[in-house]
C-alpha cells in the first residue's frame, strides 16, 4: 500500500478530476474515484483505507464510518449533508464538512426561472403551441409580481441572491424566516405560517433537518393564497409531495416549481407530474460549468486543510 494519504471519492459524475488529483498530489495524497452507486455495501468495501471520504449523494452511515478507521473527515461535494450520519461521525471524531459557498448564482437563477415559468404558465403554453393550437386568449389566469409579497424560508447566501435577482420585479414586501439570520432593512422577519398566509411567491432555501422535514405540509398549504406559487430549490424533503399534489390539483394554490424531490429520482408515476401547473427539473439548479469547477476545487482545498491538520473552513460537527 502507498504511504501517501488516501482520499476516496465514493460518487462519480464529474467530467474530470484534474483539480482533485493535482491539489492532493501536491499535498502528498492520492485521489481515487471509487463510485458506489448509492450502495452502502459497496461503500463499506471501498473506504477501508480512506483518510478522507468525498461524497455526493451516497449515504454515509455509521456502518460506513466505522469501516474507515483511518478516516479524518467526510467532505460533501455540495451543501446538504442529510446523507451523512453526523452524530456517528462526531462520536468517531470524524469531521463532516460541506461546500456552501459555490453555485449561489446558479441556484438563485434556477429559483427565479422556475418561479417565472410557473407564473407565466410556460409549460401550458409550450404544449399548446407544439400541438398546433394557437390562441392569444386567456388559457388560465396569470398575475403580475409588481406590488406582490415575496416570502423566503431560509435567508442564507442563495436566498439573498434570489432576492437580489428579483429586485427589479417590484415586490411591495419581502418576508423571510431564518432564526440564524439578521434581516437587513426592507426584509421583514416572519414565521413560516405568516409567510404562507401572506406571500404571493414563496421560495424555500432551508436545510433539511428533523425539524424542517415536511415543513410545507397540508396545513401550511391550506394557509396559502389561491394565487400563491411555491418554489423549492433546497431539499425535496421540505415539502410533503402528496399534500402539494392535492393543493395543486384542487386549485388551492396557483402553481409550484420544484428542482428537488424526496426521494431522488422521484417516482414518475406520481400524480403530481400529470398536472400542468407545476414545472419540474432534475436537481440541476447547482450546475453551470463554472460552478462545477468551483465545487470540485473548493472540496479538494478542504481535503488539503484536513490532511495538513488545519481546521476546515466549513466543519459541521465540531467537538
Q: Is the pLDDT of residue 136 over 90?
A: no
C-alpha cell, 27:
499535498
> pLDDT digits over 248-270, tens only?
999 999 999 999 999 999 999 99
> pLDDT digits over 80-102, tens only?
999 999 999 999 999 999 999 99
**What residues have CB less than 8 Å from 300, skipping those under 6 apart?**
19, 20, 23, 24
On the question of a cis peptide bond just before residue 265, with omega within 30 degrees of 0, the verdict is yes
Does domain 104-280 fall under CATH 3.40.50.720? My reply is yes
Domains 5-102+289-307 and 104-280 share a fold: yes
255: which strand partners?
A: 229
Grade residue 2 by pLDDT with cuts at 50, 70 and 90: low
Catalytic residues: 235, 264, 283
> pLDDT digits over 193-207, tens only?
999 999 999 999 999
CA distance 206 to 212: 8
Q: What is the residue extent of each domain of the chain? A: 5-102+289-307, 104-280
C-alpha cell, 84:
451523512
Higher pLDDT, 137 or 53: 53
For domain 5-102+289-307, the CATH architecture is: 3-Layer(aba) Sandwich (3.40)
Amino acid at each position: 500500500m502507498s504511504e501517501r494519504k488516501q482520499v476516496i471519492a465514493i460518487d462519480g459524475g464529474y467530467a474530470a478530476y484534474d483539480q482533485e488529483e493535482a491539489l492532493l498530489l501536491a499535498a502528498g495524497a492520492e485521489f481515487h474515484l471509487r463510485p458506489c452507486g448509492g450502495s452502502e455495501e459497496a461503500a463499506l468495501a471501498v473506504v477501508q483505507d480512506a483518510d478522507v471520504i468525498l461524497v455526493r449523494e451516497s449515504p454515509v452511515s455509521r456502518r460506513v464510518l466505522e469501516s474507515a478507521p483511518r478516516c479524518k473527515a467526510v467532505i460533501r461535494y455540495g451543501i446538504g449533508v442529510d446523507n451523512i450520519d453526523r452524530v456517528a461521525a462526531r462520536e468517531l471524531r470524524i469531521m463532516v464538512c460541506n461546500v456552501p459557498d459555490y453555485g449561489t448564482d446558479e441556484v438563485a437563477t434556477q429559483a427565479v426561472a422556475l418561479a417565472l415559468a410557473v407564473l407565466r404558465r410556460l409549460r401550458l403554453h409550450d404544449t399548446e403551441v407544439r400541438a398546433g393550437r394557437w390562441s392569444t386568449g386567456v388559457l388560465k389566469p396569470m398575475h403580475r409580481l409588481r406590488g406582490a409579497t415575496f416570502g423566503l424560508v431560509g435567508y442564507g447566501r442563495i436566498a439573498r441572491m434570489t432576492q437580489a435577482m428579483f429586485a427589479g420585479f417590484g415586490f411591495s414586501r419581502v418576508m423571510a424566516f431564518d432564526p440564524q439570520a439578521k434581516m437587513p432593512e426592507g426584509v421583514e422577519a416572519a414565521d413560516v405560517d405568516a409567510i404562507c398566509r401572506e406571500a404571493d411567491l414563496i421560495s424555500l432555501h432551508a436545510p433539511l433537518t428533523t425539524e424542517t422535514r415536511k415543513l410545507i405540509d397540508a396545513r401550511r398549504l391550506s394557509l396559502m393564497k389561491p394565487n400563491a406559487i411555491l418554489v423549492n430549490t433546497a431539499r425535496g424533503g421540505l415539502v410533503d409531495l402528496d399534500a402539494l399534489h392535492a393543493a395543486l390539483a384542487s386549485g388551492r394554490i396557483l402553481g409550484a416549481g420544484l428542482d428537488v424531490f424526496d426521494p431522488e429520482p422521484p417516482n414518475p408515476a406520481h400524480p403530481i407530474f400529470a398536472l400542468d401547473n407545476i414545472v419540474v427539473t432534475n436537481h440541476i439548479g447547482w450546475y453551470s460549468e463554472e460552478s462545477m469547477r468551483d465545487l470540485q476545487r473548493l472540496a479538494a482545498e478542504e481535503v488539503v486543510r484536513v490532511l495538513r491538520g488545519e481546521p476546515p473552513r466549513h466543519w459541521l460537527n465540531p467537538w
